[in-house]
Chain A
Amino acid sequence: MSHLKEHHHEQPVEDAEITSWKKKLIWSWLLTIPIAIIMLSERLLSFSLIEMPYSIIFILVLGFPIIFVFGFSTIKSGLRGFTNFYFNMDSLISLGTIVAYATGIFYFIGIVQDYSGIAAMIMAFFTTGKYVEALARGRASQEIRKLLELGAKKSIVLRNNKELEISIEELKIGDVMIVKPGEKIPTDGIVIRGESSVDESMVSGESLPVDKLKGDNVVGATINQDGILYVKATKIGHDTFLAHIIELVEEAQGSKVPIQKLADKITSVFVPAILILAILTFFNWWYFSEDLSRAIGVGVAVLVIACPCALGLATPTALMVGSGMGANKGILIRKGEAIQTMKEVKIVVFDKTGTITKGKPEVIDIYSKVSKEKLLEIAGSLERLSEHPIAKAVVNKASLKKYKKVTKFKILRGKGVEGEISGKEIIIGNRTLMNEKKINLEDFDKKISDFEEKGNTTMIVVQNKEVIGFIAVADAIKEDSVDALKILNDEGYKTIMITGDNDKTAKAIAKQVGIKEVIANVLPEYKAKKVQELQKRGFVAFVGDGINDAPALKQSNVGIAMGSGTDIAIEAGDLVLAKSSLIGVVQSIRLSKATFRKIKQNLFWAFAYNVIAIPLAVGGVLHPLIAEVAMALSSITVVTNANLLRRAKI
């Protein structure tokens, strides 16, 4: 968990930034207020508190610390731009305030009107804007920050039969952790003693506590509810589920949303362009109005009104809020691009096993020519060698104490298995395999069909080319699959189920959940190809588990990978659902769309602001002070608007 610990150290950075802006803000305003009073009384009330030119000296003295002490970081970073030609936002503000401040000095040579008070106020407003923006940015990242703080810091472990409290960094794989009720499970592990229920909502979004018994996997940072659990640590540090989630979320932050490209391009040339524009504006005004003071005022207004910040913050802030909201619900956005692509999606393709269904099939019936025990002994011995969930169901049902020796074992992917037991050739598999091997299904045919029509999978057992029986296996539909598909169908998505099962089985399941189109008999390796075919009809989102369906997830326009328990396939899927539920698919579609809408709104405001405000400043309509306030408001608006994404119903 050292990874998480590091994040704790980094945590205060954001707060430190806020505190530092706040300090600068308070001091700046303490000095700015007297300046403002003097300026306003002079200009508006034509009443001098301090006689000219002493008032200018007074303002220059008060203004100096505002610009060059409290504004030092801005001036320093801004002026650096003029030495290395990497201009930034600060370059504009620095030039604007320094030029304006200098007019106060030049006033004494009698050339220009004094703008030094304006300079001080611009810096004070800039500092205020930065402070508010930092606050809003902090709010935008609050969910992610909570996620980073989620990890446990200490653990009680059993060493040499003694309970010992250690810090999380000292925890090793294989340590037995003792987790008392109400405590966080320190790291991922497996329960070796005790039973309890565990609140996993923070990592899966699942609100109901999950029962944990001996042999169950538990996730670090989830909260033990009512019993004592003895948990053997299986993953630590960077390898834990939580660390993976954090990695996913951070990765998403770094990924770019295509719509941002234009804004990024503009941002990168924005500041130099504004500098040139300000200089041109200045000379233009000077030449045509023959009023140097006015020209300076307009030039400064152009410098301080331009704001690349709003453009640059438009997408990342919305993405930050969106991915934070997602993480709370167990939806992890891996690629920012997926958010944009999602709105084009017309077709949602679902893998069947493990996605629509629970993926844990059970044996529900057995028909046999020989005794059931005999059939299960053969089937169990053979299927024990396969990792397929259906095979596991058969092995569980057989629960043999002793297995028969199997030779020449072979897995026929998507079809079944074959091998030899005591010299007899055994084949277990589906109808496709039987047709291939030219096995006559004879009297079992009708019964098998009956089962298949109900959506069960039948495993036909063949010994020396003769059918000796079949095992019916059913995989129950997840509780919320029906609801989720109803929502998607109602919202106009074309829903399609894809599966390796035969047509009858597949259609029966599809009918139960409300899917009209079924693509059956698809071997795992052909799923991606089928997705490609469907893409001719429109953008396809593929929903499947991250392990078997990786190629299809990649091929689709948006791949939604279902997490399976405590393991998430990081590489597969543009979106990853920590909770293996189809409602998560509905939520992730809604979240993507809402986030993208917010990004578009933000970009609109940011562009509109600059497109309207810059010409106004060039035209000399805006006072430099108003320009600065407008600039500060533009980035605050964008970040605040991003925070409003939380109101979206997901």
Chain B
Amino acid sequence: MTKKKLTIEGMHCASCASNIERSLKKVSGVKDASVILMLKKGTVEAEDSVSEEEIKKAVSKVGYKVVKIE
């Protein structure tokens, strides 16, 4: 289980953050996801098997961009 910090671009409202959270949580292996509009940041708690690509994809699918993962 690892915790990843995301920096996300393109959010401008509360439902954006909630959409990203929902999309991330649908990725299998993701245990928890929380996105903060105010900081343009999100945290994902996921199994080690979940790749950064999958996370990026889940975010871009709903229309936003991950600019950094740490």
Give A residues with C-beta under 8 Å from B: 10, 13, 17, 77, 80-81, 84, 86-90, 130, 137, 140-141, 250, 253-256, 264, 267-268, 270-271, 308-309, 311-313, 316-317, 320
Residue of A nearest to B63 (CB): A80
Give complex CA distance A268, B19 in Å. 7
Asked if B36 is an interface residue, CB under 8 A from chain A, the answer is: yes
8 new A-B contacts, CB < 8 A, other than A253-B38, A254-B34, A254-B36, are A84-B61, A86-B23, A89-B12, A264-B18, A267-B18, A268-B19, A268-B22, A308-B14
**What are the residues of chain A within 8 A of B50 when measuring CB–CB?**
none
- How many of chain B's residues touch chain A, expressed as a range? 20 to 34
Q: Is the interface of B mostly helix, strand, loop or mixed?
A: mixed
Contact, CB under 8 Å: A253 / B39: yes
* Cβ of B66 to closest chain A Cβ, rounded Å: 14
* Cβ of A299 to closest chain B Cβ, rounded Å: 20
Contact, CB under 8 Å: A312 / B37: yes
**What are the residues of chain B within 8 A of A137 when measuring CB–CB?**
38
Given contacts A254-B34, A254-B41, whether A270 and B63 have CB atoms under 8 Å apart is: no
**What are the residues of chain B within 8 A of A312 when measuring CB–CB?**
13-15, 17-18, 37
Contact, CB under 8 Å: B61 / A313: no
Give complex CA distance A256, B42 in Å. 12
Chain B 49-69 per-residue mask, 1 if CB under 8 angstroms from chain A, else 0 = 000000000000111000000
* Cβ of A451 to closest chain B Cβ, rounded Å: 51
Contact, CB under 8 Å: A271 / B15: yes
Contact, CB under 8 Å: B15 / A313: no
Give complex CA distance A309, B38 in Å. 12
* Cβ of A555 to closest chain B Cβ, rounded Å: 24
Pick the contact of B15: A17, A253, A267 (CB < 8 A): A267
Give complex CA distance A130, B14 in Å. 12
Contact, CB under 8 Å: B36 / A316: yes
* Cβ of A584 to closest chain B Cβ, rounded Å: 25
Given contacts A250-B41, A253-B38, A253-B39, whether A86 and B63 have CB atoms under 8 Å apart is: yes
Give complex CA distance A54, B62 in Å. 40
**What are the residues of chain B within 8 A of A316 when measuring CB–CB?**
36-38
Contact, CB under 8 Å: B13 / A90: yes
**What are the residues of chain A within 8 A of B31 when measuring CB–CB?**
none
Contact, CB under 8 Å: B13 / A88: yes
Pick the contact of B16: A88, A250, A264 (CB < 8 A): A88
**What are the residues of chain A within 8 A of B16 when measuring CB–CB?**
77, 88-89
Most chain-A CB neighbours within 10 Å: which of B15, B16, B39?
B15
Pick the contact of B38: A80, A141, A255, A271 (CB < 8 A): A141
Contact, CB under 8 Å: A250 / B39: yes
* Cβ of B37 to closest chain A Cβ, rounded Å: 6
Contact, CB under 8 Å: A268 / B36: no
Pick the contact of A13: B34, B40, B43, B63 (CB < 8 A): B40
Q: Is the interface of A mostly helix, strand, loop or mixed?
A: helix
Give complex CA distance A130, B11 in Å. 12
* Cβ of B8 to closest chain A Cβ, rounded Å: 11
Given contacts A80-B63, A268-B22, whether A87 and B38 have CB atoms under 8 Å apart is: no
Contact, CB under 8 Å: A89 / B38: no
Give complex CA distance A474, B41 in Å. 49
Give complex CA distance A317, B63 in Å. 24
Contact, CB under 8 Å: B61 / A89: no
Contact, CB under 8 Å: B14 / A140: no
Residue of A nearest to B5 (CB): A250
Give complex CA distance A89, B15 in Å. 6
Residue of B nearest to A138 (CB): B38
**What are the residues of chain B within 8 A of A17 when measuring CB–CB?**
12
Given contacts A10-B7, A270-B15, A308-B15, whether A253 and B36 have CB atoms under 8 Å apart is: yes
Contact, CB under 8 Å: B19 / A254: no
**What are the residues of chain A within 8 A of B36 when measuring CB–CB?**
253-254, 316
**What are the residues of chain B within 8 A of A90 when measuring CB–CB?**
12-13
Contact, CB under 8 Å: B41 / A267: no
Give complex CA distance A547, B15 in Å. 40
Residue of B nearest to A92 (CB): B15
Pick the contact of A268: B12, B15, B61 (CB < 8 A): B15
Given contacts A271-B15, A312-B13, A312-B18, whether A84 and B41 have CB atoms under 8 Å apart is: no
Contact, CB under 8 Å: A86 / B62: yes
Given contacts A86-B19, A268-B18, whether A256 and B34 have CB atoms under 8 Å apart is: yes
Residue of A nearest to B7 (CB): A10
* Cβ of B36 to closest chain A Cβ, rounded Å: 5
* Cβ of B62 to closest chain A Cβ, rounded Å: 4
Chain B 22-46 per-residue mask, 1 if CB under 8 angstroms from chain A, else 0 = 1100000000001011111111000
Give complex CA distance A90, B12 in Å. 9
Give complex CA distance A264, B38 in Å. 15
Give complex CA distance A81, B61 in Å. 10
Give complex CA distance A311, B34 in Å. 16
Most chain-B CB neighbours within 10 Å: which of A86, A87, A308?
A86
The 4 closest A-B CB pairs, nearest first, are A312-B14, A89-B13, A88-B15, A86-B62
**What are the residues of chain B within 8 A of A255 when measuring CB–CB?**
34
* Cβ of B2 to closest chain A Cβ, rounded Å: 16
Most chain-B CB neighbours within 10 Å: which of A140, A254, A270, A316?
A254
Give complex CA distance A250, B61 in Å. 26
**What are the residues of chain A within 8 A of B43 when measuring CB–CB?**
254
Give complex CA distance A479, B12 in Å. 48
> What are 12 A-B pairs with beta-carbon distances under 8 A?
A86-B19, A87-B19, A141-B39, A254-B41, A264-B18, A267-B15, A267-B18, A268-B19, A308-B13, A309-B14, A316-B38, A320-B38
Give complex CA distance A532, B32 in Å. 29
Give complex CA distance A455, B1 in Å. 49
Residue of A nearest to B39 (CB): A253
Residue of A nearest to B61 (CB): A84
**What are the residues of chain B within 8 A of A141 when measuring CB–CB?**
38-39
**What are the residues of chain B within 8 A of A140 when measuring CB–CB?**
38
**What are the residues of chain B within 8 A of A320 when measuring CB–CB?**
38
**What are the residues of chain A within 8 A of B13 when measuring CB–CB?**
88-90, 308-309, 312
Give complex CA distance A13, B38 in Å. 12
**What are the residues of chain A within 8 A of B37 when measuring CB–CB?**
312-313, 316
Residue of B nearest to A249 (CB): B39
**What are the residues of chain B within 8 A of A270 when measuring CB–CB?**
15
**What are the residues of chain B within 8 A of A313 when measuring CB–CB?**
14, 37-38
Give complex CA distance A320, B18 in Å. 18
Contact, CB under 8 Å: B38 / A317: yes
